A and B are shown apart, each in its own frame.
Chain A
Amino acid sequence: MEDGNVRLDAMRILLLEDDRETRDYLVRGLTELGHQVVAESEGKAALARTLAEAFDILILDRMVPGLDGLTMLRLAREAGCQSPAIILSAMAGIEDRVAGLEEGADDYLIKPFAFAELAARLGALARRPPPGERGDAQTLLRVGGIEMDLVRRTVKRDGRTVDLQPREFSLLEYLLRNADRLVTRTMLLDRVWNFGFDPKTNIVETHMSRLRTKLNEGGADNVIRTIRGSGYMIVSGGQ
Chain B
Amino acid sequence: MIVPRTIKGLSILTASISGLVILALGAAAIFISHREIEAQIDHRIELEMDALLEYHASHGTAALAQFVHMRDGGTTGGTGYLAGAGGEGRMMLYALSDAKGNRIAGSLIPRLPPDGWTEFLPIRRPDGSTGKAQALGRSLPDGGQIVVAGDRDALSRADDRILLVALAGLGVILLTGTVSTIALGRLIRRRLVLISGAAQGIIEGDYTRRVPIDGSGSEFDRISMILNAMLGRIETLMLSLRQVSSDIAHDMRTPLGRIRQDMEALMRAAPDEATADRIERTIADMDALLDLFAGLLGISEVQGLAVRKRFILLPFAEIVADIVEAYRPAFDDEGRTITAMLDDVTIRGDAQLLKRAIANMLENILVHAGDGANAIITLAVEQGAAVLTVADDGPGIPANGREKIFERLVRLDPTHSKPGHGLGLSMVRAIVHAHQGMIKIVPSSSGLHLAIRLPGVRAG
* A199 part of interface (Cβ distance < 8 Å): yes
Q: Which of A91, A115, A194 contacts B246 (CB 8 A)?
A: A91
Per-residue CB proximity of A22-54 to B under 8 Å, as 1/0?
100100000000000000000000000000000
Shortest beta-carbon contacts, A-B, top 8: A90-B253, A206-B329, A112-B257, A112-B260, A196-B352, A90-B250, A111-B257, A25-B261
Shortest distance between the CB of A33 and any CB in chain B (Å): 14
* B442 part of interface (Cβ distance < 8 Å): no
* B259 part of interface (Cβ distance < 8 Å): yes
The reply to whether B298 and A200 form a contact with Cβ atoms under 8 Å apart is: no
Interface size class of B (residues with CB under 8 A): 35 or more
The reply to whether B254 and A200 form a contact with Cβ atoms under 8 Å apart is: no
The reply to whether A90 and B355 form a contact with Cβ atoms under 8 Å apart is: no
* B172 part of interface (Cβ distance < 8 Å): no
Give A179 to B325 CA distance when docked, in angstroms.
26
The reply to whether B253 and A115 form a contact with Cβ atoms under 8 Å apart is: no
The reply to whether A114 and B258 form a contact with Cβ atoms under 8 Å apart is: no
With A93-B246, A197-B352 as known contacts, state yes or no: A114 contacts B298, CB within 8 Å: no
Give A199 to B265 CA distance when docked, in angstroms.
27
The reply to whether A193 and B326 form a contact with Cβ atoms under 8 Å apart is: yes
A-B pairs with beta carbons under 8 Å apart, 9 shown: A19-B258, A22-B254, A90-B250, A93-B297, A111-B253, A111-B256, A195-B355, A200-B367, A206-B330
Per-residue CB proximity of A96-125 to B under 8 Å, as 1/0?
101000000000001111110000000000
Interface residues of B (CB under 8 A from A): 245-246, 249-250, 252-254, 256-261, 264-265, 267-268, 280, 286, 290-291, 294, 297-298, 301-302, 306-307, 310, 322, 325-327, 329-330, 332-333, 352-353, 355-356, 359, 362-363, 366-367, 419-420
* A79 part of interface (Cβ distance < 8 Å): no
- The interface residues of chain A lying within 8 Å CB-to-CB of B245 are 93
Tell me the interface secondary structure of chain A in the complex.
loop
The reply to whether B302 and A94 form a contact with Cβ atoms under 8 Å apart is: yes
Give A19 to B362 CA distance when docked, in angstroms.
40
The reply to whether A91 and B257 form a contact with Cβ atoms under 8 Å apart is: no
Interface residues of A (CB under 8 A from B): 1, 19, 21-22, 25, 63, 90-96, 98, 110-115, 165, 167, 193-203, 206-207, 209-210, 229
The reply to whether B257 and A92 form a contact with Cβ atoms under 8 Å apart is: no
Give A200 to B332 CA distance when docked, in angstroms.
17
With A94-B298, A95-B306, A193-B326 as known contacts, state yes or no: A19 contacts B359, CB within 8 Å: no
Shortest distance between the CB of B275 and any CB in chain A (Å): 13
The reply to whether B253 and A201 form a contact with Cβ atoms under 8 Å apart is: no
Give A84 to B252 CA distance when docked, in angstroms.
28
Shortest distance between the CB of A120 and any CB in chain B (Å): 14
Q: Apart from A91-B249, A93-B246, A203-B330, what 11 extra A-B contacts exist at CB < 8 Å?
A: A1-B268, A63-B246, A92-B297, A94-B302, A96-B246, A110-B294, A112-B256, A113-B257, A193-B322, A196-B352, A229-B280
The reply to whether B356 and A112 form a contact with Cβ atoms under 8 Å apart is: no
The reply to whether A207 and B367 form a contact with Cβ atoms under 8 Å apart is: no
The reply to whether A93 and B326 form a contact with Cβ atoms under 8 Å apart is: no
With A95-B307, A114-B260 as known contacts, state yes or no: A90 contacts B254, CB within 8 Å: yes
The reply to whether B363 and A200 form a contact with Cβ atoms under 8 Å apart is: yes
Q: Specify the chain B residue showing the minimal Cβ separation from A25.
A: B261
- The interface residues of chain A lying within 8 Å CB-to-CB of B249 are 90-93
Q: Specify the chain B residue showing the minimal Cβ separation from A24.
A: B261
Give A203 to B333 CA distance when docked, in angstroms.
11
- The interface residues of chain B lying within 8 Å CB-to-CB of A111 are 253-254, 256-257
Q: Which of B286, B307, B329, B366 contacts A94 (CB 8 A)?
A: B307
Q: Which of A92, A113, A195, A203 contacts B294 (CB 8 A)?
A: A92
Q: Specify the chain B residue showing the minimal Cβ separation from A115.
A: B264
Shortest distance between the CB of A112 and any CB in chain B (Å): 4
With A114-B264, A206-B333 as known contacts, state yes or no: A200 contacts B301, CB within 8 Å: no
The reply to whether B329 and A210 form a contact with Cβ atoms under 8 Å apart is: yes
Give A1 to B273 CA distance when docked, in angstroms.
11
The reply to whether B257 and A63 form a contact with Cβ atoms under 8 Å apart is: no
- The interface residues of chain B lying within 8 Å CB-to-CB of A115 are 261, 264
- The interface residues of chain A lying within 8 Å CB-to-CB of B294 are 92, 110
Q: Which of B254, B291, B306, B326 contacts A198 (CB 8 A)?
A: B291
The reply to whether B250 and A63 form a contact with Cβ atoms under 8 Å apart is: yes
The reply to whether B327 and A201 form a contact with Cβ atoms under 8 Å apart is: yes
Shortest distance between the CB of B248 and any CB in chain A (Å): 10
Q: Specify the chain B residue showing the minimal Cβ separation from A208.
A: B329
Give A196 to B319 CA distance when docked, in angstroms.
13
- The interface residues of chain A lying within 8 Å CB-to-CB of B353 are 94
Shortest distance between the CB of B321 and any CB in chain A (Å): 11
Shortest distance between the CB of B366 and any CB in chain A (Å): 6
- The interface residues of chain A lying within 8 Å CB-to-CB of B286 are 112
Q: Specify the chain B residue showing the minimal Cβ separation from A88.
A: B257
Give A210 to B353 CA distance when docked, in angstroms.
28
Q: Which of A91, A113, A201, A209 contacts B250 (CB 8 A)?
A: A91
Give A118 to B258 CA distance when docked, in angstroms.
15
Q: Which of B258, B291, B310, B355 contacts A98 (CB 8 A)?
A: B310
Q: Specify the chain B residue showing the minimal Cβ separation from A210.
A: B329
Q: Specify the chain A residue showing the minimal Cβ separation from B334.
A: A206
With A90-B253, A195-B355, A197-B356 as known contacts, state yes or no: A203 contacts B326, CB within 8 Å: yes
The reply to whether A207 and B329 form a contact with Cβ atoms under 8 Å apart is: yes
Shortest distance between the CB of B355 and any CB in chain A (Å): 6
- The interface residues of chain B lying within 8 Å CB-to-CB of A193 are 322, 326
Q: Which of A1, A90, A98, A197 contacts B257 (CB 8 A)?
A: A90
- The interface residues of chain B lying within 8 Å CB-to-CB of A201 are 327, 330, 359, 362-363, 366
Q: Which of B261, B310, B327 contacts A21 (CB 8 A)?
A: B261
Shortest distance between the CB of A232 and any CB in chain B (Å): 16
The reply to whether B250 and A22 form a contact with Cβ atoms under 8 Å apart is: no
The reply to whether A167 and B367 form a contact with Cβ atoms under 8 Å apart is: no
Most buried by B among A19, A98, A199: A199
